[in-house]
A = this chain, B = another copy of it.
Amino acid sequence: MERPRHQGMAKNTYMRWRLPLICLLWEVAMIVLFGVFVRFGPEADAHWEEEKKEMNLTSDIENDFYFRYPSFQDVHVMIFVGFGFLMTFLKRYGFGAVGFNFLLAAFGIQWALLMQGWFHSFKSGKILIGVENLINADFCVGSVCIAFGAILGKTSPIQLLVMTLFQVTLFAVNEYILLNLLHVKDAGGSMTIHTFGAYFGLTVTRILYRPDLEQSKDKQGSVYHSDLFAMIGTLYLWMYWPSFNSAISDHGDAQHRAAINTYCSLAACVLTTMAFSSMLQKKGKLDMVHIQNATLAGGVAVGTSAEMMLTPYGSLIVGFICGIVSTVGYVYLTPFLESRLHIQDTCGIHNLHAMPGLIGGIVGAITAAAATEDVYGKEG
């Protein structure tokens, strides 16, 4: 695997024993903690047959697995292929991006199962897991992948593993505060995943600021084939985002609605991204970085409100605005952040995740406030 360049500590971090020791010790810790705490939830346990009778369910298809597993697999692809390949656009870090993303995500999902389990699925001393926990673990790791985008090419795998440990912990605490104490609804994670992940990553990259990085612009450039690989990442994120936003919504109409809203928002976002990308370039050409990233902002921004009665045209409006905000951010804000605030945002996560995530929170609040009995029905 390729080594991260421009790193004073390169020799140390790649010392032969450090990475192996950390990986092995942490994995042993995971096994012990899983052994003490983690068990199958009722719908994955062999006693489900009895459970079914008690709950008067007539068919195995009522198992949560059949409601959520297809969405889970789509989210899984977004985390490992989507985020992994999205970051291959840099000339020198293609394999590193995919490989390190693989490593941090594989570790992160284990730690996330534990952290989120203690906060949300802890019953009589055990964490009971099912497919919904797997999705939530993937979500949590998604926020780490976002943060990774800001520091791409500046860190060793060990630093990434340490960052993952901290970020997952903080994610679970933050999520607990927002969802359980403040009773915020955020099924698609505009705030808990995207805004949180982005600001975490921007903080880390600020700390790791290296003025000499500027000089190596040529290594940061993209090449033709890298761009096609990056488009694989973009498209898988774009296509599966409806699954991301609907994966943990309530069964039935809520999942259905979340998928439709996200589909609409993303479609609108592509058009405004292309429009502003062409408009803000000197020669009217389209900028590949915008197409690879800003087209996704619409999915981020309907995360909170997708399962609400946002309506299809409301989704189009959100997507319309986010395509513009995100593209403008790439053109004007990213250079400003780097030159003035010394924040080197390699993948531009501030434009793709931080701002659209904030917009998503606001849209969610407005949509929730506009909810009336008439719109949601008496049962809703």
Which residues of chain B have C-beta atoms less than 8 A from A279's C-beta? 16-17, 20
Q: Which residues of B contact A19 (CB under 8 A)?
A: 274-275, 278, 284
A59 on interface, CB distance cutoff 8 Å: yes
On whether A316 and B110 interact (CB within 8 A), knowing A27-B268, A63-B256, the answer reads yes
When C-beta atoms are compared, the residue in chain B nearest to A278 turns out to be B19
Cα–Cα distance between A103 and B234 once the two chains are bound (Å):
13
A222-253 Cβ-contact flags toward B at 8 Å (1 or 0):
00110111011001101110110000000111
User: Given A46-B376, A134-B263, A260-B129: A23 and B67 within 8 A (CB)?
Assistant: no
User: With an 8 A cutoff between CB atoms, is A207 at the interface?
Assistant: no
Copies of the protein in its oligomer: 3
- Min CB distance A31 to B, Å, is 5
Q: Give every chain B residue within 8 A of A270 (Cβ-Cβ).
A: 102-103, 106-107
Contact B260 A14 (CB under 8 A): no
Which of B224, B253, B263 sits near A45, CB closer than 8 Å?
B253
On chain B, the residues within 8 Å of A376 by CB distance are: 46-47
Interface-located stretch among A73-81, A144-152, A353-361: A73-81
Is A40 interfacial (CB 8 A cutoff)?
yes
Q: Which residues of B contact A43 (CB under 8 A)?
A: 253, 256
Say whether B380 contacts A286, CB under 8 Å: no
Among A179-187, A190-198, A305-313, A340-348, the one that faces the other chain is: A305-313
Label chain A's interface by main secondary structure.
helix
- Measured between beta carbons, the chain B residues less than 8 angstroms from A49 are 252-253, 377, 379-380
A86: Cβ under 8 A from any B Cβ: no
Kindly list chain B residues whose C-beta atoms are within 8 Å of the C-beta of A69: 70-71, 259
- The residue from B62, B235, B320 contacting A102, defined by CB atoms under 8 A apart: B235
Tell whether, in the assembled complex, residue A257 and residue B40 are in contact, meaning their CB atoms are under 8 Å apart.
yes
Nearest Cβ on chain B to A279's Cβ, whole angstroms: 4
Across the interface, A291 reaches (CB within 8 A) one of B102, B251, B283, B379, namely B102
A236 CB contacts on chain B under 8 angstroms: 81
A253 touches B46 (CB 8 A): yes
A45 — nearest CB in chain B belongs to which residue? B253
Distance in angstroms between the alpha carbons of A96 and B175 in the assembled complex = 41
A260 to B260, CA, bound (A): 28
**Contact status B47-A256, CB under 8 Å:** no
Residue A35 at the B interface, CB < 8 A?
yes
Flag if A224 contacts B61 (CB, 8 Å).
no
**A268: nearest residue on chain B (CB-CB)?**
B27
CA distance A256 to B67 in the complex (A): 11
Does chain B have a CB within 8 A of A48? Answer: yes
Q: Name the one of B81, B227, B312, B317 contacting A239, with C-beta atoms under 8 angstroms.
A: B81
Taking a contact as CB atoms under 8 Å apart, the answer to whether B27 and A251 are in contact is no
Q: In chain B, what residue has the closest Cβ to A49?
A: B379
Q: Which residues in B have their C-beta under 8 angstroms from that of A94?
A: 224, 228
User: B residues within 8 A CB of A252?
Assistant: 48-49, 52, 60, 63, 65
Q: Is A375 an interface residue (CB 8 A)?
A: yes
**Which A-B residue pairs are the 9 nearest by beta carbons?**
A60-B252, A106-B270, A48-B253, A23-B275, A49-B379, A34-B313, A16-B284, A60-B251, A1-B286
> What are 19 A-B interface contacts by the 8 Å CB criterion?
A3-B285, A19-B278, A23-B272, A27-B272, A38-B311, A38-B313, A39-B311, A40-B309, A49-B253, A49-B377, A50-B377, A50-B379, A69-B71, A73-B239, A80-B239, A81-B235, A95-B228, A98-B235, A103-B274
